[in-house]
Amino acid sequence: SQRVKIKQILLSDSVNYEVTVKGWVRTFRNNQFIALNDGSTNNNLQVVVNEADTDPAVFRRITRGAAISVTGQIVPSLGAGQKVELKTATLEILGDCDAEVFPIQPKKQSLEFMREIAHLRFRTNTFGAVFRLRHALAFAVHKFFNDKGFVYLHTPIITASDAEGAGEMFRVSTLDPKNPPLNENGDIDYKEDFFGRATNLTVSGQLEGELGAMAFGDIYTFGPTFRAENSNTARHLAEFWMIEPEMAFYELKDNMDLAEEFIKYVIRYTLDNNREDLDFLAQRLAEEEKQKPQAERSPMGLIEKLEFVLNNEFTRITYTEAIEILKNSKPNKNKKFQFPVDEWGTDLQSEHERYLVEKHFQKPVILTDYPAAIKSFYMKQNDDGKTVRAMDILFPGIGEIVGGSQREENYDKLVRRMNELKIPVEELYWYLDTRRFGTAPHAGFGLGFERLVLFVTGMTNIRDVIPFPRTPKNAEF
């Protein structure tokens, strides 16, 4: 008979039909009941085996973790907890598993421990739900932009430029690190390297994205990006996925409107299509919250938190307004910020961002018009001569989830700014060409995909929402 996914069997009310299911044994109880999981859902299919009818050599090998194939009838279940079960006609062991040494135990195991066995953690309910949601969000991202007529542009992973001008790049080289060729100054001679020049892993696809927007009008990228910043936090990865839409003829306000609509759309998509996994994670989070002292508990559950974001407009204020609020605020009764905000121009730390969204406004906030000195070279300069048309979206529990801006479309102003910041103008001639040949107002933003997945799943460490986290001193598997 045909192989059927467990999710499909459990969604349907039909009984008395034959199926084949294949999956992994989660538990085997009373020598009779197998809880079988095939990854399509967290709900296991109860498989009933009759020891008397089973070859003892096969029966012995039904262990936690083993891969099996079962054919039989789907029948109404007499036991509580499930409507249907599979009555085994034939059972085949596909792959044995020694349950004594299998690290996934049928009890609660810490997320820290799971990170050490990240190669096996997909086989737990928590990570099953997290990574199915991650998939659903990725699908919703493509659906949102496709429905709006955006072109998905694949920008390069290996590049010679530093899109953010922050110097946080991983070098890509095939030169012998112990004995690299040197030039007359004694520096490594990258002319001898694979590409004939120094190259890095991309920190952002934005600059190439802008080239696309200047032809297709609306594009987006969605790919891995890399940052060699030594930030060992629960919000930073060395390899993360970023979604970067770039739109011709957009100004900052259009950019903010699109970003807000986009975030709401993908959250709505998961509420409409992935409720089972969201409910599972909501339950998980509620249990975690119960462990905390009353005062530290979140007033909202996961589903409420998601619905709250959908039902409220994001607050939009300028950096200058935010500084005024922060100057006059005490984060905790008498405690000051660790980094006091005393003058205009200082970059906001995550404690300030979180104060604004979690305490002051208690909802997502879009901060605009930052000082030019703390933002990237490509942002459109305001007439005040000190701020740029930047926008950062800050989320409760996350901090910065989006960074974006209107771009400087004026060739002379852009070149002047690049020179001030010692950005190599000649090397970026291809980028500047967009400003020479039919330049137009345009804007875009970058959303950190893992930060979005963190928010939607209610997980708290970014290492738990990417299948294979890359962080300082960690690239094991």
| Interface residue list for Mg ion (CB under 5 A) | 403
User: What are residue 242's DSSP bridge partners?
Assistant: 223, 448
Nearer to ligand 4AD, 85 or 244 (CB): 244
Nearest approach in angstroms of CB 256 to ligand 4AD is 12
Query: Among residues 65, 444, 458, 469, which is the contact residue for ligand 4AD, using CB under 6 A?
Result: 444
Minimal distance in Å, beta carbon 366 to Mg ion? Answer: 13
Cβ(458)–Cβ(285) below 8 Å: yes
CA-wise closest residue to 417 among 400, 403, 435? 435
**Of residues 173, 174, 170, 172, the one with CA closest to residue 238:** 170
Task: State the binding partner of 240 from ligand 4AD, Mg ion, none, CB within 5 to 8 A by kind.
Answer: ligand 4AD
H/E element holding 46? strand 45-48
3-state helix, strand, coil in the chain (%, to 5): 35, 25, 40
Contact, 189 vs 196, CB < 8 A?
A: no
| Count of chain residues binding ligand 4AD (CB under 6 A) | 23
- Strands (DSSP E) found in 66-182: 67-76, 84-95, 151-152, 158-159, 171-172
Q: Indicate which of ligand 4AD, Mg ion, none lies near residue 237 (CB less than 5 to 8 Å, by partner kind).
A: ligand 4AD
**Cβ at position 424, least distance to ligand 4AD in Å:** 18
In angstroms, the CA 171 to CA 57 distance is 55
The entry of Mg ion, ligand 4AD, none that residue 402 binds, CB within 5 to 8 Å by partner kind: ligand 4AD
In the set 72, 212, 364, 404, which binds ligand 4AD (CB under 6 A)? 404
Question: SS3 for 439?
Answer: coil
Residue 401 binding target from Mg ion, ligand 4AD, none, CB below 5 to 8 Å by type: ligand 4AD
Residues between 204 and 263 with contacts to ligand 4AD, criterion CB under 6 A: 204, 206, 227, 229, 236-237, 240, 242, 244
| Partner that binds at residue 458, options ligand 4AD, Mg ion, none, CB closer than 5 to 8 Å by kind | none
In whole angstroms, give the CA distance from residue 301 to residue 62: 39
What number of residues does the chain have?
477
> 399 or 403: whose CB is closer to Mg ion?
403
**Site for ligand 4AD contains 163 (CB under 6 A):** yes
Q: Dihedrals φ, ψ of 120, to 5°?
A: -120, -5
Q: Which is nearer to ligand 4AD, 19 or 401 (CB)?
A: 401
Q: 72 or 446, CB closer to Mg ion? A: 446
What residue ranges bind ligand 4AD (CB under 6 A)? 163-164, 204, 206, 227, 229, 236-237, 240, 242, 244, 400-405, 444-446, 448, 450-451
